[in-house]
Amino acid sequence: MAVLNIFKMKKVLILCTGNSCRSQIAHGFLKTFLEGTAEVFSAGVETHGVNPKAIEVMKEENIDLSSHTSNHVDEYNNVEFDYIITVCDHAKEKCPLFIGKGERLHYNFPDPAKATGSDEEIMNEFRKVRDMIKQYSLDFTASKFV
């Protein structure tokens, strides 16, 4: 008897203001944690380009964001997401209404791109936010995919 594969890959969208730092970091973690289980996308309500410091701090986690692009949320108008995660208040307020039943989740992470001080202090802020997003991503994975 043939077995039909009725497993549908879940689709996850991480949404931020500019798709440059927080959503890119979450994209990297969730793509790694959910490999083979979900398709992960990230976008912004604007596009600012991927922040080089986000790429740098994710290299410390052995996750390569260097080929990522900054995408606008309108690029995904025809995609039905299972989960839409906003990672800043601005994106939550501006998030367009997607057709479908996607569950919306929100966590307002600090914007590391707004950090000031020495290069070391700025990188430490990026690491702090990265670690917060990593924990959120682990918690999301455990609660929605296990």
Of 38, 88, 113, 133, the active-site residue reads: 88
Establish whether 88 is a catalytic residue.
yes
- Alpha carbon of 38 to those of 30, 54, 69, 71, 135: distances in Å? 9, 23, 19, 19, 18
| From 63, 79, 95, 105, active-site residue | 95
Which contacts (CB < 8 Å, 24+ apart) does range 57-61 have?
Answer: 57/25, 57/123, 57/126, 57/127, 57/130, 58/24, 58/25, 58/28, 58/130, 60/127, 61/28, 61/29, 61/130, 61/134
CB 88 within 8 A of CB 113: no
21 is catalytic: no
Choose the catalytic residue: 12, 14, 15, 16: 16
- Known catalytic residues? 16, 88, 95
